[in-house]
Amino acid sequence: MIPRSHVGSSGMDNEDVQSGVVLGLGSNLGDREAAIAQALARLEARGYRATQRSSLYLTEPVGGPPQDWFVNAVADGETALSPEALLEACLAVEQELGRVRREPNGPRTIDVDILLFGDLRLPGPAPVIPHPRLAERRFVLEPLAEILPERVHPVLGRTLRELLESCKDDSQVKRLAGARA
């Protein structure tokens, strides 16, 4: 059962709303910053409200073919959607913004992943929550630790700051000064 809290003043029509729903966003094709902003706006229209957004980060590609660097960010928010419905919304937004899946870890106009859904543990098949590679990816951990340093990973039992400090991924991640998701 998914723990939900009743939020009357959230602007979400007094529905049962799950807070602590964290999305990861990234883009390395086209106007990367605009793609992230558009994805968040379209997700809001579908029932996800970002309550906190990280800075934007310029990040070195990890895996996949040679490609341009990404702009990545995370958003912490709330939704009355189920994890499965939120995943459907994320995939629809990716498609609307021109994402084409040609090869694993290939270039993309937008990528939206569910990283955390409260303290939910969902083994899949889809979505798998928490995101199975969250603790291995510096491009995710840097923005997570920026806005949620003391949040505890529901499976690993360590804070996001601790996960960042022990992350073995040495790819480059640079905060873009003054830019927020």
Q: Tell me the pLDDT tens digit for each residue of 83-93.
A: 999 999 999 99
Mean pLDDT confidence for 94-108: 90
Amino acid 41: pLDDT: 98
Amino acid 14: pLDDT: 46
Q: In the chain, how many domains are there?
A: 1
Q: Which pair of structure tokens corresponds to residue 170?
A: 């040495």
How large is the C-alpha radius of gyration of the chain?
15
Q: Which of 96, 115, 95 is nearest to 54 (CA)?
A: 115
Could you tell me if residue 29 is inside a domain?
yes
Could you tell me if residue 52 is inside a domain?
yes
Q: Which of 108, 72, 78 is nearest to 93 (CA)?
A: 108
Could you tell me if residue 54 is inside a domain?
yes
Cα 146 to Cα 161: distance, rounded to the nearest angstrom? 8
DSSP state, 129? B
Q: Are 58 and 70 in contact (CB under 8 A)?
A: yes
Q: Which pair of structure tokens corresponds to residue 29?
A: 């094709």
Catalytic residue among 111, 137, 138, 151: 111
Catalytic residue among 32, 42, 53, 99: 99
Cα 55 to Cα 179: distance, rounded to the nearest angstrom? 6
Amino acid symbol at 2:
I
Mean pLDDT confidence for 164-176: 97
pTM of the model: 0.91
Could you tell me if residue 66 is inside a domain?
yes
CATH number where 121 lies: 3.30.70.560
Sequence-distant (≥ 6) Cβ neighbours of residue 123 within 8 angstroms:
none
Which residues on neighbouring strands pair with residue 57, listed in sequence order?
Answer: 72, 175
Q: Which pair of structure tokens corresponds to residue 86?
A: 């939120």
Three-state SS at 35: helix
Amino acid 15: pLDDT: 60
User: Whats the size of the chain, residue-wise?
Assistant: 181
Told to judge if 108 belongs to the known catalytic residues of this protein, a careful annotator would answer: yes
Reply yes or no on whether the pLDDT at 3 is more than 60: no
User: Percent of the chain beyond pLDDT 90?
Assistant: 81
Could you tell me if residue 38 is inside a domain?
yes
Could you tell me if residue 125 is inside a domain?
yes
> Per-residue pLDDT tens for 102-138?
888 889 999 999 999 999 999 988 899 999 999 999 9
Could you tell me if residue 147 is inside a domain?
no
> Per-residue pLDDT tens for 34-85?
999 999 999 999 999 999 999 999 999 998 899 999 999 999 999 999 999 9
Amino acid 177: pLDDT: 83
Amino acid 64: pLDDT: 86
Told to judge if 99 belongs to the known catalytic residues of this protein, a careful annotator would answer: yes
Could you tell me if residue 41 is inside a domain?
yes
Catalytic residue among 32, 49, 76, 113: 113
What's the mean per-residue pLDDT of the chain?
91
Three-state SS at 17: strand
- Domain span at residue 26 reads 16-132
Reply yes or no on whether the pLDDT at 33 is more than 70: yes
Amino acid 164: pLDDT: 98
